[in-house]
Amino acid sequence: MKKILSLVAVLSLCILLTGCGKVLKCSSSSEQKNYNISTDYKIESSGKIVTKVTIKQVIESKDKKVLQNFKKQLEDQYKSNNTVYGGYSYKVKINGKKLTANITINYKKFDLDKFVKANGAMKEYVNKDNKLTVDGAKKMYKSTGATCK
């Protein structure tokens, strides 16, 4: 009985310390003439505020030039975003006919104030303190054609 009570106490403490974090998952896919794209978003939060988004994007094409162009564009975009706003880590690789991009945006390190100031449309997705909300992230990803659950 003592072990069960200890376990319940430890689990309760863990829940209190982590702020009842939740995970929302969204995904989208698109078929184009020369390529197909599928994207999965894993949105982690503390309460109603997004703390981290992990993105896995897979682009498939028979044309290596298409994949190489995507690789350069994605790497340039993520490098630029990380330089200007911080909080990005990413890896983009091509393996055969498939490009895989793994991106993490750590919102504890990301300068969201600066980003919102430069991208006025983001105001629709943040609260009054310029914090990205879970509802805002869900709305943002749904606006790009993603489904969330």
The whole-model pTM stands at 0.82
**Burial classification of residue 3, based on how many CB atoms lie within 10 Å of its CB (0-12 exposed, 13-18 middle, 19 or more buried):** exposed
Residue 149 has what pLDDT? Answer: 86
pLDDT in tens, 71-101: 999 999 999 999 999 999 999 999 999 999 9
Question: 92: closest CA among 81, 76, 114?
Answer: 76
Residue 133 has what pLDDT? Answer: 96
Residue 44 has what pLDDT? Answer: 97
Residue 21 has what pLDDT? Answer: 61
Question: Is there a contact between 105 and 90 (Cβ–Cβ < 8 Å)?
Answer: no
Quickly count: other Cβ atoms within 10 Å of residue 7's Cβ. 10
Q: How many whole angstroms from its chain centre is CA 146?
A: 12
pLDDT in tens, 1-56: 333 323 233 333 333 333 456 899 999 999 999 999 999 999 999 999 999 999 99
Residue 81 has what pLDDT? Answer: 95
Q: How large is the greatest C-alpha to C-alpha distance in the chain, in angstroms?
A: 64
Q: Which residues contact 65 (CB under 8 A, 6 or more apart)?
A: none
Strands 88-95 and 36-46, by their bridges, are: unpaired
Integer Rg of the chain from CA:
18
Cα dihedral 70/71/76/77 (nearest 10): 60
46 compared with 149, residue with greater pLDDT:
46
Interval 111-126 mean pLDDT: 94
